[in-house]
Structure 1
Amino acid sequence: MSDRLRLNAPLPSLDAWVEAFATAEIPVLTDTAETLEQMRATEDDVDAHGLGELMSTDPLMTLKVLAHVSELRRSHSAGLHAAPETVTAALVLMGITPFFRAFGPQPTMEEALAGHDEALIGLSRVMQRAERASRYALAFAAHRADPDAAIIHSAALLHDFAEMLLWVHAPDLALQIATLQAADRTLRSAAAQRQVLGVTLADLEQALMKRWRLPELLTRITGNKDERDPQVRCVHLAVRVARHTARGWDDAGVPDDLHEIAELLNLSEAHALKLLHEFD
Protein backbone atom coordinates (compact mmCIF):
# COMPACT_ATOMS: atom_id res chain seq x y z
CA MET A 1 0.00 0.00 0.00
CA SER A 2 2.31 2.76 -1.15
CA ASP A 3 1.09 4.61 -4.25
CA ARG A 4 -1.18 7.67 -4.29
CA LEU A 5 -4.25 6.89 -6.39
CA ARG A 6 -6.91 9.15 -7.90
CA LEU A 7 -9.60 7.58 -10.08
CA ASN A 8 -12.04 9.69 -12.09
CA ALA A 9 -13.82 6.91 -13.98
CA PRO A 10 -15.05 3.43 -13.02
CA LEU A 11 -12.73 0.47 -13.51
CA PRO A 12 -13.75 -2.43 -15.78
CA SER A 13 -14.08 -5.22 -13.21
CA LEU A 14 -14.10 -6.13 -9.53
CA ASP A 15 -10.57 -7.52 -9.91
CA ALA A 16 -9.39 -4.18 -11.30
CA TRP A 17 -10.91 -2.32 -8.33
CA VAL A 18 -9.26 -4.73 -5.90
CA GLU A 19 -5.85 -4.37 -7.55
CA ALA A 20 -6.08 -0.56 -7.55
CA PHE A 21 -7.18 -0.24 -3.92
CA ALA A 22 -4.93 -2.98 -2.56
CA THR A 23 -1.76 -1.22 -3.72
CA ALA A 24 -2.75 2.40 -3.03
CA GLU A 25 -1.58 4.58 -0.16
CA ILE A 26 -4.12 4.81 2.67
CA PRO A 27 -4.31 8.00 4.74
CA VAL A 28 -5.28 8.15 8.41
CA LEU A 29 -6.83 10.65 10.79
CA THR A 30 -4.64 13.67 11.49
CA ASP A 31 -4.88 12.99 15.23
CA THR A 32 -3.57 9.47 14.65
CA ALA A 33 -0.66 10.68 12.53
CA GLU A 34 0.33 13.39 15.01
CA THR A 35 0.03 11.16 18.10
CA LEU A 36 2.07 8.41 16.43
CA GLU A 37 4.90 10.90 15.90
CA GLN A 38 4.74 11.94 19.55
CA MET A 39 4.85 8.28 20.56
CA ARG A 40 7.75 7.63 18.18
CA ALA A 41 9.81 10.18 20.10
CA THR A 42 9.27 8.23 23.34
CA GLU A 43 9.13 4.73 21.89
CA ASP A 44 10.49 3.05 25.04
CA ASP A 45 7.43 4.24 26.96
CA VAL A 46 4.92 2.94 24.40
CA ASP A 47 3.10 -0.38 24.70
CA ALA A 48 0.72 -2.29 22.42
CA HIS A 49 -2.35 -1.41 24.48
CA GLY A 50 -1.66 2.33 24.29
CA LEU A 51 -1.08 2.12 20.54
CA GLY A 52 -4.15 -0.08 20.10
CA GLU A 53 -6.29 2.40 22.00
CA LEU A 54 -5.13 5.18 19.68
CA MET A 55 -6.07 3.12 16.61
CA SER A 56 -9.40 1.91 18.02
CA THR A 57 -11.07 5.09 16.70
CA ASP A 58 -9.31 5.12 13.32
CA PRO A 59 -10.68 2.49 10.90
CA LEU A 60 -8.10 3.06 8.17
CA MET A 61 -5.07 2.85 10.51
CA THR A 62 -6.58 -0.33 11.97
CA LEU A 63 -6.96 -1.70 8.44
CA LYS A 64 -3.35 -0.86 7.56
CA VAL A 65 -1.96 -2.63 10.62
CA LEU A 66 -4.06 -5.77 10.16
CA ALA A 67 -3.16 -5.96 6.46
CA HIS A 68 0.54 -5.45 7.25
CA VAL A 69 0.58 -8.23 9.85
CA SER A 70 -1.24 -10.50 7.41
CA GLU A 71 1.57 -9.84 4.92
CA LEU A 72 4.16 -10.63 7.60
CA ARG A 73 2.42 -13.93 8.30
CA ARG A 74 2.57 -14.79 4.59
CA SER A 75 6.27 -13.92 4.41
CA HIS A 76 7.29 -15.59 7.68
CA SER A 77 4.67 -18.26 8.15
CA ALA A 78 7.04 -20.45 10.12
CA GLY A 79 7.35 -17.85 12.87
CA LEU A 80 3.92 -16.24 12.89
CA HIS A 81 1.16 -18.81 13.15
CA ALA A 82 -1.61 -16.98 15.00
CA ALA A 83 -3.86 -14.68 13.00
CA PRO A 84 -4.41 -11.60 15.21
CA GLU A 85 -8.04 -10.54 15.07
CA THR A 86 -7.66 -7.13 16.73
CA VAL A 87 -5.20 -4.32 16.20
CA THR A 88 -3.84 -4.67 19.76
CA ALA A 89 -3.14 -8.37 19.20
CA ALA A 90 -1.44 -7.48 15.90
CA LEU A 91 0.77 -4.94 17.68
CA VAL A 92 1.70 -7.47 20.38
CA LEU A 93 2.69 -9.90 17.64
CA MET A 94 4.74 -7.30 15.73
CA GLY A 95 6.45 -5.57 18.65
CA ILE A 96 6.70 -1.82 19.16
CA THR A 97 10.06 -1.18 17.49
CA PRO A 98 9.18 -3.20 14.35
CA PHE A 99 5.85 -1.33 14.20
CA PHE A 100 7.52 2.09 14.15
CA ARG A 101 10.08 0.80 11.65
CA ALA A 102 7.32 -0.43 9.33
CA PHE A 103 5.07 2.61 9.78
CA GLY A 104 6.84 5.91 9.26
CA PRO A 105 5.08 9.30 9.33
CA GLN A 106 1.55 8.64 8.11
CA PRO A 107 -0.26 10.45 5.26
CA THR A 108 -3.43 12.17 6.44
CA MET A 109 -6.95 12.44 5.05
CA GLU A 110 -6.55 16.22 4.76
CA GLU A 111 -3.41 15.80 2.64
CA ALA A 112 -5.02 13.13 0.45
CA LEU A 113 -8.09 15.25 -0.24
CA ALA A 114 -6.52 18.70 -0.26
CA GLY A 115 -8.71 21.03 -2.31
CA HIS A 116 -11.63 18.59 -2.33
CA ASP A 117 -13.63 19.77 0.68
CA GLU A 118 -16.85 17.98 -0.25
CA ALA A 119 -15.06 14.64 -0.38
CA LEU A 120 -13.28 15.33 2.90
CA ILE A 121 -16.65 16.00 4.54
CA GLY A 122 -18.06 12.80 3.01
CA LEU A 123 -15.11 10.74 4.24
CA SER A 124 -15.26 12.31 7.70
CA ARG A 125 -18.93 11.39 8.02
CA VAL A 126 -18.25 7.74 7.16
CA MET A 127 -15.31 7.62 9.59
CA GLN A 128 -17.37 9.15 12.41
CA ARG A 129 -20.25 6.78 11.68
CA ALA A 130 -17.87 3.80 11.84
CA GLU A 131 -16.45 4.93 15.17
CA ARG A 132 -19.97 5.28 16.64
CA ALA A 133 -20.97 1.88 15.24
CA SER A 134 -17.91 0.28 16.83
CA ARG A 135 -18.86 1.68 20.24
CA TYR A 136 -22.43 0.42 19.89
CA ALA A 137 -21.26 -3.02 18.76
CA LEU A 138 -18.85 -3.26 21.68
CA ALA A 139 -21.64 -2.27 24.08
CA PHE A 140 -23.97 -4.92 22.62
CA ALA A 141 -21.27 -7.60 22.77
CA ALA A 142 -20.27 -6.67 26.32
CA HIS A 143 -23.91 -6.80 27.44
CA ARG A 144 -24.13 -10.29 25.96
CA ALA A 145 -20.80 -11.25 27.63
CA ASP A 146 -19.48 -12.27 24.20
CA PRO A 147 -15.84 -13.45 24.49
CA ASP A 148 -15.19 -12.02 21.00
CA ALA A 149 -16.30 -8.49 21.99
CA ALA A 150 -13.01 -6.92 20.82
CA ILE A 151 -13.33 -8.59 17.42
CA ILE A 152 -16.95 -7.45 17.12
CA HIS A 153 -15.73 -3.90 17.85
CA SER A 154 -13.15 -4.23 15.04
CA ALA A 155 -15.71 -5.67 12.62
CA ALA A 156 -18.05 -2.71 13.17
CA LEU A 157 -15.17 -0.23 12.89
CA LEU A 158 -14.10 -1.77 9.55
CA HIS A 159 -17.60 -2.50 8.24
CA ASP A 160 -17.61 0.34 5.69
CA PHE A 161 -13.90 0.65 4.93
CA ALA A 162 -14.46 0.21 1.17
CA GLU A 163 -16.68 3.32 1.22
CA MET A 164 -13.90 5.21 3.03
CA LEU A 165 -11.36 4.09 0.43
CA LEU A 166 -13.71 5.18 -2.35
CA TRP A 167 -13.87 8.72 -0.88
CA VAL A 168 -10.05 8.73 -0.69
CA HIS A 169 -9.18 7.24 -4.08
CA ALA A 170 -12.21 8.17 -6.23
CA PRO A 171 -13.87 11.18 -4.56
CA ASP A 172 -15.72 12.31 -7.68
CA LEU A 173 -17.32 8.87 -8.05
CA ALA A 174 -18.22 8.80 -4.35
CA LEU A 175 -19.90 12.18 -4.78
CA GLN A 176 -21.84 10.88 -7.79
CA ILE A 177 -23.24 8.05 -5.63
CA ALA A 178 -24.13 10.48 -2.83
CA THR A 179 -25.85 12.81 -5.33
CA LEU A 180 -27.91 9.96 -6.80
CA GLN A 181 -29.10 8.90 -3.37
CA ALA A 182 -29.84 12.44 -2.26
CA ALA A 183 -32.02 12.89 -5.35
CA ASP A 184 -33.89 9.61 -4.79
CA ARG A 185 -34.32 8.56 -1.15
CA THR A 186 -35.71 5.18 -2.27
CA LEU A 187 -32.55 4.28 -4.23
CA ARG A 188 -30.70 1.48 -2.46
CA SER A 189 -27.00 1.99 -1.81
CA ALA A 190 -26.01 -1.14 -3.72
CA ALA A 191 -28.00 -0.04 -6.78
CA ALA A 192 -26.41 3.41 -6.77
CA GLN A 193 -22.95 1.91 -6.38
CA ARG A 194 -23.46 -0.53 -9.22
CA GLN A 195 -24.79 2.27 -11.44
CA VAL A 196 -21.71 4.46 -10.87
CA LEU A 197 -18.93 1.93 -10.21
CA GLY A 198 -20.09 -1.26 -11.91
CA VAL A 199 -19.58 -3.11 -8.59
CA THR A 200 -20.97 -2.88 -5.07
CA LEU A 201 -18.82 -1.73 -2.18
CA ALA A 202 -19.83 -4.81 -0.16
CA ASP A 203 -18.36 -7.08 -2.86
CA LEU A 204 -15.25 -4.90 -3.12
CA GLU A 205 -14.78 -4.97 0.64
CA GLN A 206 -15.02 -8.74 0.90
CA ALA A 207 -12.62 -9.15 -2.04
CA LEU A 208 -10.11 -6.79 -0.40
CA MET A 209 -10.35 -8.64 2.92
CA LYS A 210 -9.60 -11.88 1.10
CA ARG A 211 -6.75 -10.24 -0.85
CA TRP A 212 -5.21 -9.00 2.40
CA ARG A 213 -6.07 -12.31 4.11
CA LEU A 214 -7.63 -10.57 7.07
CA PRO A 215 -8.70 -12.90 9.90
CA GLU A 216 -11.50 -15.29 8.96
CA LEU A 217 -13.70 -14.41 11.95
CA LEU A 218 -13.38 -10.70 11.20
CA THR A 219 -14.19 -11.25 7.53
CA ARG A 220 -17.18 -13.45 8.40
CA ILE A 221 -18.70 -11.06 10.93
CA THR A 222 -18.19 -8.04 8.67
CA GLY A 223 -19.65 -9.57 5.54
CA ASN A 224 -22.11 -12.23 6.71
CA LYS A 225 -25.80 -11.37 6.28
CA ASP A 226 -27.03 -14.22 8.51
CA GLU A 227 -29.16 -12.26 10.97
CA ARG A 228 -29.56 -15.37 13.17
CA ASP A 229 -25.90 -15.16 14.19
CA PRO A 230 -25.80 -12.93 17.29
CA GLN A 231 -22.28 -11.67 16.51
CA VAL A 232 -23.37 -10.66 13.03
CA ARG A 233 -26.49 -9.03 14.46
CA CYS A 234 -24.38 -7.03 16.94
CA VAL A 235 -22.37 -5.57 14.07
CA HIS A 236 -25.18 -5.02 11.58
CA LEU A 237 -27.53 -3.44 14.12
CA ALA A 238 -24.73 -1.20 15.38
CA VAL A 239 -23.93 -0.09 11.83
CA ARG A 240 -27.61 0.44 11.04
CA VAL A 241 -28.41 2.55 14.09
CA ALA A 242 -25.21 4.59 13.61
CA ARG A 243 -26.28 5.31 10.03
CA HIS A 244 -29.88 6.11 10.92
CA THR A 245 -28.90 8.46 13.78
CA ALA A 246 -25.97 10.17 12.05
CA ARG A 247 -27.92 13.43 11.86
CA GLY A 248 -30.30 12.95 14.78
CA TRP A 249 -32.59 10.41 16.41
CA ASP A 250 -35.74 11.20 14.39
CA ASP A 251 -34.99 8.94 11.39
CA ALA A 252 -37.88 6.67 10.42
CA GLY A 253 -35.66 3.59 10.72
CA VAL A 254 -34.78 4.10 14.40
CA PRO A 255 -37.90 2.45 15.93
CA ASP A 256 -37.24 -0.79 14.00
CA ASP A 257 -33.56 -0.68 14.98
CA LEU A 258 -34.50 -0.17 18.62
CA HIS A 259 -36.96 -3.07 18.56
CA GLU A 260 -34.32 -5.46 17.15
CA ILE A 261 -31.60 -4.25 19.51
CA ALA A 262 -33.90 -4.74 22.50
CA GLU A 263 -34.66 -8.25 21.25
CA LEU A 264 -30.96 -9.06 20.78
CA LEU A 265 -30.04 -7.84 24.26
CA ASN A 266 -33.18 -9.15 25.98
CA LEU A 267 -34.03 -5.65 27.21
CA SER A 268 -37.03 -3.37 27.04
CA GLU A 269 -36.86 -0.79 24.25
CA ALA A 270 -36.55 1.98 26.87
CA HIS A 271 -33.49 0.27 28.40
CA ALA A 272 -32.00 -0.36 24.96
CA LEU A 273 -32.38 3.32 24.10
CA LYS A 274 -30.74 4.31 27.41
CA LEU A 275 -27.81 2.01 26.61
CA LEU A 276 -27.40 3.58 23.16
CA HIS A 277 -27.35 7.10 24.59
CA GLU A 278 -24.81 6.09 27.24
CA PHE A 279 -22.38 4.86 24.57
CA ASP A 280 -23.03 7.65 22.07
Structure 2
Amino acid sequence: MTPRIEEPLADAASWADWFRGQIPTLPLLRQSKRKIDEEATHATEINLHQLAEVVIGDPILTLRTLVQLQQSKKGETRELTSITSALMMLGIQPFLHQIHALPTVESALADQPVALKWLLSRVARARKAAHYAHDWAVLRRDINAEEVTVAALLYEINEILLWLFAPKLMFLMLSLRKRFPDHPIEVLQRKVFNTTDLELRDAAIARFNLPTILKELMNPQNAENPRTRTVLLATRLARHLGRKGWQHPKLEADIEAIEQLVHLNRELLLRRLDAPYEVWPRFGVPVPPTSESKDHPTKGNETQ
Protein backbone atom coordinates (compact mmCIF):
# COMPACT_ATOMS: atom_id res chain seq x y z
CA MET A 1 0.00 0.00 0.00
CA THR A 2 1.25 3.46 -0.92
CA PRO A 3 2.29 5.46 2.18
CA ARG A 4 0.47 8.73 2.75
CA ILE A 5 1.43 11.94 4.48
CA GLU A 6 -1.53 13.36 6.40
CA GLU A 7 0.21 16.24 8.20
CA PRO A 8 2.85 18.63 6.85
CA LEU A 9 6.48 17.76 7.44
CA ALA A 10 8.80 20.21 9.17
CA ASP A 11 10.49 21.85 6.19
CA ALA A 12 11.71 21.38 2.62
CA ALA A 13 14.60 19.15 3.69
CA SER A 14 12.20 16.83 5.54
CA TRP A 15 9.95 16.54 2.48
CA ALA A 16 12.94 15.88 0.23
CA ASP A 17 14.26 13.20 2.60
CA TRP A 18 10.86 11.51 2.69
CA PHE A 19 10.51 11.56 -1.10
CA ARG A 20 14.03 10.21 -1.41
CA GLY A 21 13.04 7.22 0.71
CA GLN A 22 10.23 6.36 -1.71
CA ILE A 23 12.43 6.15 -4.82
CA PRO A 24 12.95 2.34 -4.74
CA THR A 25 9.18 1.67 -4.88
CA LEU A 26 8.10 4.78 -6.79
CA PRO A 27 5.19 3.80 -9.06
CA LEU A 28 5.02 4.50 -12.77
CA LEU A 29 2.13 5.32 -15.04
CA ARG A 30 0.07 2.35 -16.20
CA GLN A 31 0.64 3.35 -19.81
CA SER A 32 4.41 3.37 -19.25
CA LYS A 33 4.34 -0.05 -17.60
CA ARG A 34 2.29 -1.51 -20.44
CA LYS A 35 4.67 -0.17 -23.09
CA ILE A 36 7.75 -1.36 -21.21
CA ASP A 37 6.25 -4.79 -20.65
CA GLU A 38 5.59 -4.99 -24.38
CA GLU A 39 9.23 -4.09 -25.04
CA ALA A 40 10.36 -6.71 -22.53
CA THR A 41 8.64 -9.48 -24.46
CA HIS A 42 11.15 -8.75 -27.22
CA ALA A 43 14.10 -8.11 -24.95
CA THR A 44 16.65 -9.42 -27.43
CA GLU A 45 15.47 -6.88 -30.00
CA ILE A 46 14.70 -4.01 -27.64
CA ASN A 47 15.16 -0.55 -29.09
CA LEU A 48 17.04 1.60 -26.59
CA HIS A 49 15.77 4.84 -28.05
CA GLN A 50 12.15 3.70 -28.00
CA LEU A 51 12.56 2.66 -24.38
CA ALA A 52 14.05 6.07 -23.56
CA GLU A 53 11.03 7.75 -25.19
CA VAL A 54 8.71 5.79 -22.90
CA VAL A 55 10.73 6.83 -19.83
CA ILE A 56 10.86 10.51 -20.78
CA GLY A 57 7.08 10.48 -21.29
CA ASP A 58 6.66 9.66 -17.60
CA PRO A 59 7.95 12.34 -15.17
CA ILE A 60 7.93 9.95 -12.19
CA LEU A 61 9.83 7.26 -14.06
CA THR A 62 12.27 9.84 -15.40
CA LEU A 63 12.98 11.00 -11.85
CA ARG A 64 13.43 7.43 -10.63
CA THR A 65 15.80 6.61 -13.50
CA LEU A 66 18.00 9.66 -12.91
CA VAL A 67 18.19 9.00 -9.17
CA GLN A 68 19.09 5.36 -9.79
CA LEU A 69 21.80 6.49 -12.18
CA GLN A 70 23.32 8.78 -9.56
CA GLN A 71 23.30 5.93 -7.05
CA SER A 72 24.96 3.51 -9.44
CA LYS A 73 27.83 5.78 -10.43
CA LYS A 74 31.03 4.63 -8.75
CA GLY A 75 33.65 7.32 -8.78
CA GLU A 76 32.03 8.85 -11.87
CA THR A 77 31.93 12.65 -11.59
CA ARG A 78 30.32 13.42 -14.95
CA GLU A 79 26.70 14.50 -14.60
CA LEU A 80 24.28 12.92 -17.04
CA THR A 81 20.77 14.03 -17.92
CA SER A 82 20.42 11.84 -21.02
CA ILE A 83 17.84 9.12 -20.42
CA THR A 84 19.34 6.99 -23.20
CA SER A 85 22.77 7.17 -21.55
CA ALA A 86 21.21 6.46 -18.15
CA LEU A 87 19.54 3.29 -19.47
CA MET A 88 22.81 2.15 -21.03
CA MET A 89 24.66 2.63 -17.74
CA LEU A 90 21.95 0.98 -15.64
CA GLY A 91 21.63 -1.94 -18.03
CA ILE A 92 18.50 -2.81 -19.98
CA GLN A 93 17.79 -6.14 -18.30
CA PRO A 94 18.17 -4.87 -14.69
CA PHE A 95 16.00 -1.88 -15.58
CA LEU A 96 13.26 -4.06 -17.08
CA HIS A 97 13.37 -6.42 -14.10
CA GLN A 98 12.90 -3.57 -11.62
CA ILE A 99 10.09 -1.98 -13.60
CA HIS A 100 8.18 -5.26 -13.77
CA ALA A 101 7.91 -5.35 -9.95
CA LEU A 102 6.75 -1.74 -9.51
CA PRO A 103 3.14 -0.69 -8.85
CA THR A 104 1.33 1.78 -11.09
CA VAL A 105 0.23 5.27 -10.17
CA GLU A 106 -3.34 4.29 -11.00
CA SER A 107 -3.29 1.41 -8.51
CA ALA A 108 -1.58 3.55 -5.87
CA LEU A 109 -4.40 6.11 -6.06
CA ALA A 110 -7.24 3.66 -6.69
CA ASP A 111 -8.95 4.92 -3.53
CA GLN A 112 -8.43 8.58 -4.53
CA PRO A 113 -9.92 8.97 -8.03
CA VAL A 114 -10.09 12.77 -7.83
CA ALA A 115 -6.47 13.00 -6.71
CA LEU A 116 -5.53 10.67 -9.56
CA LYS A 117 -7.31 12.95 -12.01
CA TRP A 118 -5.34 15.93 -10.72
CA LEU A 119 -2.06 14.01 -10.85
CA LEU A 120 -2.66 12.87 -14.43
CA SER A 121 -3.51 16.43 -15.45
CA ARG A 122 -0.15 17.55 -14.06
CA VAL A 123 1.60 14.74 -15.92
CA ALA A 124 -0.09 15.88 -19.13
CA ARG A 125 0.99 19.44 -18.44
CA ALA A 126 4.57 18.35 -17.79
CA ARG A 127 4.64 16.38 -21.03
CA LYS A 128 3.35 19.36 -22.99
CA ALA A 129 5.94 21.65 -21.38
CA ALA A 130 8.68 19.15 -22.22
CA HIS A 131 7.45 18.98 -25.83
CA TYR A 132 7.53 22.77 -26.16
CA ALA A 133 10.92 23.05 -24.46
CA HIS A 134 12.47 20.43 -26.74
CA ASP A 135 11.03 22.05 -29.87
CA TRP A 136 12.29 25.49 -28.92
CA ALA A 137 15.69 24.15 -27.86
CA VAL A 138 16.06 22.59 -31.30
CA LEU A 139 15.02 25.87 -32.94
CA ARG A 140 17.66 27.63 -30.86
CA ARG A 141 20.25 24.98 -31.85
CA ASP A 142 20.84 24.14 -28.21
CA ILE A 143 23.85 21.83 -27.90
CA ASN A 144 21.97 19.62 -25.41
CA ALA A 145 18.24 19.85 -26.04
CA GLU A 146 17.58 16.82 -23.81
CA GLU A 147 18.76 18.69 -20.71
CA VAL A 148 16.19 21.37 -21.39
CA THR A 149 13.52 18.75 -22.11
CA VAL A 150 14.15 16.87 -18.86
CA ALA A 151 14.18 20.10 -16.84
CA ALA A 152 10.78 21.09 -18.27
CA LEU A 153 9.41 17.61 -17.66
CA LEU A 154 10.49 17.62 -14.01
CA TYR A 155 9.44 21.19 -13.27
CA GLU A 156 6.06 19.87 -12.09
CA ILE A 157 7.49 16.92 -10.14
CA ASN A 158 6.80 18.42 -6.69
CA GLU A 159 3.08 18.72 -7.36
CA ILE A 160 2.95 15.27 -8.96
CA LEU A 161 4.62 13.66 -5.93
CA LEU A 162 2.41 15.58 -3.53
CA TRP A 163 -0.74 14.40 -5.30
CA LEU A 164 0.63 10.87 -5.10
CA PHE A 165 1.70 10.86 -1.44
CA ALA A 166 -0.17 13.76 0.20
CA PRO A 167 -3.55 14.16 -1.54
CA LYS A 168 -5.23 15.38 1.67
CA LEU A 169 -2.84 18.33 1.88
CA MET A 170 -3.18 19.05 -1.82
CA PHE A 171 -6.96 19.26 -1.49
CA LEU A 172 -6.44 21.69 1.40
CA MET A 173 -4.18 23.76 -0.85
CA LEU A 174 -6.84 23.87 -3.55
CA SER A 175 -9.44 24.97 -1.01
CA LEU A 176 -7.24 27.79 0.28
CA ARG A 177 -6.47 29.02 -3.22
CA LYS A 178 -10.20 29.29 -3.92
CA ARG A 179 -10.88 31.06 -0.62
CA PHE A 180 -7.92 33.44 -0.90
CA PRO A 181 -7.27 33.97 -4.62
CA ASP A 182 -5.35 37.20 -3.99
CA HIS A 183 -2.90 35.70 -1.49
CA PRO A 184 0.60 35.01 -2.85
CA ILE A 185 0.82 31.32 -3.62
CA GLU A 186 4.06 31.03 -1.64
CA VAL A 187 2.22 32.14 1.51
CA LEU A 188 -0.42 29.45 1.04
CA GLN A 189 2.20 26.81 0.21
CA ARG A 190 4.09 27.55 3.40
CA LYS A 191 0.87 27.44 5.43
CA VAL A 192 -0.04 23.99 4.08
CA PHE A 193 3.37 22.34 3.56
CA ASN A 194 5.77 24.36 5.76
CA THR A 195 7.74 25.12 2.61
CA THR A 196 7.34 26.59 -0.88
CA ASP A 197 7.53 24.98 -4.29
CA LEU A 198 10.89 26.60 -5.05
CA GLU A 199 12.39 25.59 -1.70
CA LEU A 200 11.18 22.03 -2.11
CA ARG A 201 12.48 21.81 -5.67
CA ASP A 202 15.96 22.93 -4.60
CA ALA A 203 15.95 20.59 -1.61
CA ALA A 204 14.76 17.65 -3.70
CA ILE A 205 17.38 18.18 -6.42
CA ALA A 206 20.08 18.26 -3.74
CA ARG A 207 18.72 15.24 -1.84
CA PHE A 208 18.23 13.22 -5.02
CA ASN A 209 21.75 14.19 -6.08
CA LEU A 210 20.44 15.19 -9.49
CA PRO A 211 22.67 17.03 -11.98
CA THR A 212 23.19 20.64 -10.93
CA ILE A 213 22.30 21.80 -14.45
CA LEU A 214 18.69 20.82 -13.73
CA LYS A 215 18.63 23.18 -10.75
CA GLU A 216 19.98 25.98 -12.94
CA LEU A 217 17.47 25.32 -15.69
CA MET A 218 14.51 25.29 -13.26
CA ASN A 219 15.53 28.35 -11.27
CA PRO A 220 13.35 31.43 -12.02
CA GLN A 221 16.18 33.64 -10.74
CA ASN A 222 18.26 32.41 -13.68
CA ALA A 223 15.69 33.53 -16.26
CA GLU A 224 18.22 35.67 -18.15
CA ASN A 225 19.78 32.45 -19.40
CA PRO A 226 18.00 31.53 -22.67
CA ARG A 227 18.03 27.82 -21.76
CA THR A 228 16.35 28.49 -18.42
CA ARG A 229 13.93 30.88 -20.08
CA THR A 230 13.02 28.09 -22.49
CA VAL A 231 12.04 25.85 -19.56
CA LEU A 232 10.13 28.59 -17.76
CA LEU A 233 8.22 29.77 -20.84
CA ALA A 234 7.37 26.19 -21.87
CA THR A 235 6.03 25.50 -18.39
CA ARG A 236 4.11 28.77 -18.30
CA LEU A 237 2.49 28.19 -21.70
CA ALA A 238 1.52 24.63 -20.78
CA ARG A 239 -0.06 25.87 -17.54
CA HIS A 240 -2.01 28.67 -19.23
CA LEU A 241 -3.31 26.41 -21.99
CA GLY A 242 -4.21 23.79 -19.40
CA ARG A 243 -6.30 26.25 -17.40
CA LYS A 244 -8.29 28.14 -20.04
CA GLY A 245 -7.11 26.88 -23.40
CA TRP A 246 -6.43 29.54 -26.02
CA GLN A 247 -8.70 31.96 -24.16
CA HIS A 248 -6.24 32.53 -21.31
CA PRO A 249 -5.74 36.30 -20.86
CA LYS A 250 -1.94 36.04 -20.53
CA LEU A 251 -1.28 34.25 -23.81
CA GLU A 252 -0.40 37.45 -25.68
CA ALA A 253 2.52 38.00 -23.31
CA ASP A 254 3.48 34.34 -23.62
CA ILE A 255 3.55 34.42 -27.43
CA GLU A 256 5.55 37.64 -27.48
CA ALA A 257 8.13 36.22 -25.06
CA ILE A 258 8.41 32.95 -27.00
CA GLU A 259 8.76 34.86 -30.27
CA GLN A 260 11.68 36.81 -28.82
CA LEU A 261 13.25 33.59 -27.51
CA VAL A 262 13.15 31.50 -30.69
CA HIS A 263 13.26 34.35 -33.25
CA LEU A 264 10.50 32.81 -35.31
CA ASN A 265 7.94 34.60 -37.46
CA ARG A 266 4.69 34.86 -35.46
CA GLU A 267 2.60 33.04 -38.03
CA LEU A 268 5.09 30.18 -38.14
CA LEU A 269 5.16 30.14 -34.34
CA LEU A 270 1.37 29.88 -34.11
CA ARG A 271 1.40 27.07 -36.63
CA ARG A 272 4.13 25.31 -34.67
CA LEU A 273 2.05 25.66 -31.49
CA ASP A 274 -0.99 24.29 -33.36
CA ALA A 275 -3.02 27.35 -32.40
CA PRO A 276 -6.55 27.26 -33.88
CA TYR A 277 -7.03 29.75 -36.69
CA GLU A 278 -9.86 31.59 -34.97
CA VAL A 279 -7.46 32.92 -32.30
CA TRP A 280 -4.82 34.14 -34.75
CA PRO A 281 -6.26 37.71 -35.04
CA ARG A 282 -5.87 38.05 -31.29
CA PHE A 283 -2.12 37.75 -31.83
CA GLY A 284 -2.02 40.12 -34.78
CA VAL A 285 -1.99 37.44 -37.49
CA PRO A 286 -4.74 37.31 -40.16
CA VAL A 287 -6.73 34.11 -40.59
CA PRO A 288 -5.62 32.04 -43.61
CA PRO A 289 -7.99 31.48 -46.57
CA THR A 290 -11.18 29.59 -45.79
CA SER A 291 -10.14 26.60 -47.87
CA GLU A 292 -7.08 26.13 -45.67
CA SER A 293 -8.81 26.74 -42.32
CA LYS A 294 -11.41 24.04 -42.99
CA ASP A 295 -8.76 21.37 -42.55
CA HIS A 296 -7.37 22.81 -39.32
CA PRO A 297 -8.82 21.26 -36.15
CA THR A 298 -10.01 23.50 -33.36
CA LYS A 299 -8.34 22.83 -30.05
CA GLY A 300 -10.43 22.76 -26.91
CA ASN A 301 -9.41 23.28 -23.31
CA GLU A 302 -7.33 20.65 -21.60
CA THR A 303 -7.83 19.08 -18.22
CA GLN A 304 -7.65 21.74 -15.55
> Above 0.5 in TM-score?
yes
Unmatched 5+ stretches in structure 2: 276-298, 300-304
Alignment of 1:254 onto 2:251 = yes
RMSD (Å), alpha carbons: 1.8
Task: Trace 1:145-160 onto structure 2 (pairs within 5 A).
Answer: 145-160=141-156
Alignment of 1:115 onto 2:105 = no
Q: 1:257 offset after TM fit, Å?
A: 0.8
The runs of at least 4 consecutive aligned structure 1 residues that moved more than 4 Å come to none
What is the aligned partner in structure 2 of residue 68 from structure 1? 68
Alignment of 1:55 onto 2:52 = no
Question: Could you list the per-position Cα deviations for residues 4-27 of structure 1 after superposition, in whole angstroms to 9, with x for gaps in the alignment?
Answer: 320111112222212211112422
Question: Could you list the per-position Cα deviations for residues 213-252 of structure 1 after superposition, in whole angstroms to 9, with x for gaps in the alignment?
Answer: 1112122212352221000000000000000010411111
The alpha-carbon distance between structure 1 residues 195 and 270, as it changes in their structure 2 partners (threshold 3 A), is farther
Alignment of 1:265 onto 2:265 = no
Alignment of 1:213 onto 2:209 = yes
Q: Highest CA radius of gyration, 1 or 2?
A: 2
Question: Could you list the per-position Cα deviations for residues 92-120 of structure 1 after superposition, in whole angstroms to 9, with x for gaps in the alignment?
Answer: 22221232244333211111111211111
Question: Could you list the per-position Cα deviations for residues 155-202 of structure 1 after superposition, in whole angstroms to 9, with x for gaps in the alignment?
Answer: 100111011000001001011112222334333332221121110122
Task: Trace 1:1-280 onto structure 2 (pairs within 5 A).
Answer: 4-24=2-22, 25-73=25-73, 76-77=74-75, 80-246=76-242, 247-277=244-274
Percent identity at matched positions? 29
When the two structures are superposed, what TM-score results if normalisation uses the length of structure 2? 0.84
User: Separation in 2 of the partners of 1:14 and 1:185?
Assistant: 24
Unmatched 5+ stretches in structure 1: none
Letter in 2 for 1:180: L
> Does the 8 A contact of 1:47 with 1:96 survive in 2?
no
How many residues align? The count is 273
User: Separation in 1 of the partners of 2:160 and 2:120?
Assistant: 9
Q: 1:81 offset after TM fit, Å?
A: 4.5
User: Separation in 1 of the partners of 2:239 and 2:179?
Assistant: 18
User: Separation in 2 of the partners of 1:205 and 1:120?
Assistant: 22
Letter in 2 for 1:8: E
User: Separation in 2 of the partners of 1:46 and 1:188?
Assistant: 48
